[in-house]
Amino acid sequence: MFGNEILIAALVYVIVSLGLALFQQKQTAKLKVKVEALTLLVKESDRQRETVKRELQELRSGTIGVGKRMLELEKKASQQDARLDEANQQDPQAKLYTRAMKMVDLGAGVDELINECEIPRAEAELLIRLHRKG
């Protein structure tokens, strides 16, 4: 009798061991699938990160180029302003018109412009139409 009990116990042990081995194998297969999926996600994330990094670098380069161009344009505008100021200072007629425009801004009338700036009536009226605020 004692031999049968040992045999039954050994058989139960073998069956339980096989069951545990199968369970372990299924769990290992599931984990392997999950690891493969995570590996693909990591690779895709790395690819996207590199794409974003490359695009950001392109944006930085473009911004630097735009900044340089803006500085060049500001420099040219300053040079043009200086040339205009110089030309206005050398031209006595331009001084009169500059003064007349300032007077219009301060509310001067046609007769006042004619008397003070010695410009024709038509030009005085035109200046008032063009430069009067409001």
- What was the pLDDT predicted at 92? 64
Q: How does pLDDT run across 25-35, given as a tens digit for each residue?
A: 999 999 999 99
The span from the CA of 103 to the CA of 113, in Å, is 8
Please give the biggest Cα pair distance in the chain: 141
- Find tokens 């801004």 and name the residue: 105
- What was the pLDDT predicted at 116? 85
Give the alpha-carbon dihedral of 103, 104, 110, 112, to 10 degrees. -20
Q: How does pLDDT run across 46-98, given as a tens digit for each residue?
A: 999 999 999 999 999 888 888 889 999 899 989 998 887 777 666 666 677 77
- What was the pLDDT predicted at 100? 82
- What was the pLDDT predicted at 81? 84
Indicate the pTM of the whole model: 0.42
H helices present in the chain, as ranges: 2-90, 92-105, 110-117, 121-131
